[in-house]
Structure 1
């Protein structure tokens, strides 16, 4: 064995690879491009998180305005009304009148979202209904004495 020339391909030197080295680069580039396009589409189609914008007091009712419909879980617990929204917002509190008697309401932050509680000196019942008004979500909570 004199030298490593490729005369009859019987020498110990490996053959040179004549295939193009561009195919792995092209496949890697396509995979990276596909991942970036997928991330952009996912960002565009993700809904905007719900946010409590304002709370209004009406006669015997409370109206909460959101930028879009939040997930809602409501219960009447021992004569108080509690509503849990999967939304962002700031803590607030106030009073409203129901049959010339005071009802205290409070919005506070919890680990699962916003918690709205309505409490009075006597047991309450509440009914709530939401609807879309002018590209915002309006939730009205109507109260009654038990």
Structure 2
């Protein structure tokens, strides 16, 4: 056999199949459909972000309301109470009076790790905080007193 020319229908190379190759298209479409279904399921099962809903002033502190329980880190730094929440929300500020008539200013600001709540007074403060679920939301109550 010299060359690849036809001689009585026999040669060393097979004849090209004129039909389209459907197997790679089928596998590609199955992969795309699987990816899209996975993205939709992932979107449906992702929980809502944790959001600060409101802040209430109390006679001895503040109550901070969230839609779900956030991660919380709190410290008392040089007489100021600082609470860091892993949540979203808007910057706010306000003022409250303690039972003895002293003014305390509070401020919520955004940080790279979430929201930061600062409570500051003219005299050093001590604070205690506790959270609980109420009415399908999460409430953190911060109780303040002067040193």
TM class, shorter-length:
0.7 to 0.9
The TM-score, its normalising length taken from structure 1, stands at 0.87
1:111 positional shift: 2.3
Three-state SS of the structure 1 residue aligned to 2:47 is coil
Change (3 A) 1:32 1:6: farther
Unaligned stretches of 5+ residues in structure 1? none
Aligned-partner Cα distance in 1 for 2:44–2:4: 66
Identify unmatched segments of 5+ residues in structure 2. Answer: none
Hey, which bits of structure 1, 4+ residues long, moved more than 6 A?
none
Q: How many aligned residue pairs are there? A: 144
d(CA) in 1 for partners of 2:93, 2:75: 19
* Counterpart position of 1:88: 88
In structure 2, the residue matched to 1:102 is 103
2:9 to 7, 10, 17: 7
- Shift in CA distance, 5/91, structure 1 to aligned 2, threshold 3 Å: farther
CA spacing shift, 1:42–1:5, aligned 2, 3 Å: farther
CA deviation string 1:50-80 (max 9, x = no partner):
1111100011020011111222211110110
1:67 aligns with 2:67: yes
Distance verdict in 2 for CA 1:51–1:6, change over 3 Å: farther
TM-score for both structures, normalised by structure 2: 0.87
- State the Cα deviation string for residues 99-146 of structure 1 (Å, max 9, x = none): 221111111122222110000111111111111111211111111222
Say if 1:90 and 1:7 are closer, same or farther in 2 by CA, change over 3 A.
Answer: same
Mapping for residues 26-37 of structure 1, pairs under 5 Å = 26-37=26-37
Q: Offset of 1:5 from its aligned partner?
A: 6.5
- Across the aligned residues of Structure 1 and Structure 2, the Cα RMSD in angstroms comes to 2.2
